[in-house]
Amino acid sequence: MASGRWNVAGGFLFISLFVVLGFVLVYLRDFAPGKDAWVADYAVGKHFETRLAHAHGNLFALVNIAMGLVLPRLAAGATTKRALAWITLGGLLMPVGILGEVVLGTSPVFVLLGGAMMFVAVTWAGVIAAQGWNAAAHG
CA neighbor of 96 nearest in space, from 25, 14, 5: 14
Give the largest CA-CA distance in the chain: 58
Give the model's pLDDT for residue 76. 94
User: Sorting pLDDT into bands at 50, 70 and 90, what band is 47?
Assistant: confident
Contacts of 4 (CB under 8 A, 6+ apart): 67, 68, 69, 70, 71, 72, 81, 85
Q: Give how many domains the chain has, as a whole number.
A: 1
User: Sorting pLDDT into bands at 50, 70 and 90, what band is 128?
Assistant: very high
Q: How far apart are CA 139 and CA 126, in angstroms?
A: 22
pTM: 0.91
Give the model's pLDDT for residue 63. 98
Percent of the chain topping pLDDT 70? 96
Give the model's pLDDT for residue 30. 92
Query: Is the per-residue pLDDT at 1 higher than 90?
Result: no
Give the model's pLDDT for residue 38. 84
Average pLDDT, rounded, for the chain: 93
**How would you label 106-135 residue by residue, b for 16+ Cβ within 10 Å and e otherwise?**
eeeebbeebbebbebbbebbeebeeeeeee
Q: Which domain holds residue 9?
A: 5-138
